Amino acid sequence: MKIVVIGGTGLIGSKVVQDLTEQGHEAVAAAPSTGVNAVTGEGLSDVLTGASVVADVSNSPSFEDGPAMDFFTKSTTNLLAAEAEAGVRHHVALSVVGTDFLAPQSGYFLAKQKQEDLISAGPIPYSIVHATQFFEFLNFIADSATEGNTVRLPSALIQPMAAADVGKAVALAALHDPVNGIVEVGGPQAYRLPDLIRTVLTAHGDAREVIADPTAKYWYADIEERTLVPDDGAALSDTRFEDWVLETAAKA
């Protein structure tokens, strides 16, 4: 089966391509570097010829409100139109646990919600994979909450997962029938956000002080206790945070 992975050269996309290829499928990595640009529509018609499934794991190059909305609106609109023309039978998209809660407060998550709305109202049967935050993204969370040498974060729960496991979840969704709804996936264990960030910074030799602050925001948004964890019944991955942080610290 031919499966086109939009954003297939990136952190998650490359893992989706690898996982599908190892299972014997024709997985095609589509990205601007391969001549495919979903925002402009360049190369879509050619790459989608003969494809049964499209897995979109692309992300906006900017987290600013306007550029993010422009990226997800244009890329999703172009993809769905090209898929309908090519006879694609299943559209899979990667999104984020908590998007619906965060969208009213965050331009980036509002753009992700717009992406989901376009897919659900579109002509292609679909599956939206809601994943919790990646281990590989934790340093960016710390950076977003840093003031001087201090990281201030709310003491909410977070249940992160390895990028490789996110890739497996997207590949699994691509190989199953469309659910025409959302599938949630998360890591094996929940942690307090400040404790998790403190652990990863310490393991990587980062001397910033991490403080639990009830007034602090997450990516400039107020969150609740369980905004960043999946609902009951979500599929949970195997890779433990403790194992991942030891491995990455050793490599560093």
Cross-strand pairs, 46 = none
- How does the average pLDDT of the chain come out, rounded? 96
Whole-number Cα distances in Å, 66 to 61, 108, 221: 12, 8, 17
| The predicted structure's pLDDT at residue 219 | 87
77: pLDDT strictly greater than 90: yes
CA distance 246 to 165: 17
E strand or H helix at 11: helix 11-22
- The whole-number average pLDDT for the span 8-19 is 97
| Pairing verdict, β 150-153 and 146-147 | antiparallel
pLDDT per position as a tens digit, 39-72 = 999 999 999 999 999 999 999 999 899 999 999 9
Q: What percent of the chain has pLDDT over 90?
A: 94
Whole-number Cα distances in Å, 23 to 60, 165, 175: 29, 15, 10
| The predicted structure's pLDDT at residue 242 | 94
| Paired tokens of 246 | 């030891």
Burial (CB < 10 A; 0-12, 13-18, 19+), residue 147, is: exposed
Whole-number Cα distances in Å, 124 to 82, 190, 202: 10, 34, 46
249: pLDDT strictly greater than 90: no
pLDDT band at 73 (very low <50, low <70, confident <90, very high): very high
pLDDT per position as a tens digit, 165-210 = 999 999 999 999 999 999 999 999 999 999 999 999 999 899 999 9
| The predicted structure's pLDDT at residue 252 | 62
CA distance 215 to 138: 20
pLDDT band at 250 (very low <50, low <70, confident <90, very high): confident
Domain segments of the chain as ranges:
2-251
Q: What superfamily does domain 2-251 belong to in CATH?
A: NAD(P)-binding Rossmann-like Domain (3.40.50.720)
Burial (CB < 10 A; 0-12, 13-18, 19+), residue 132, is: buried
| Paired tokens of 144 | 């977003």
| The predicted structure's pLDDT at residue 169 | 98
CA distance 190 to 76: 32
| The predicted structure's pLDDT at residue 114 | 98
Residues 6 or more apart whose CB falls under 8 angstroms from that of 125 comprise 89, 90, 91, 177, 178, 180
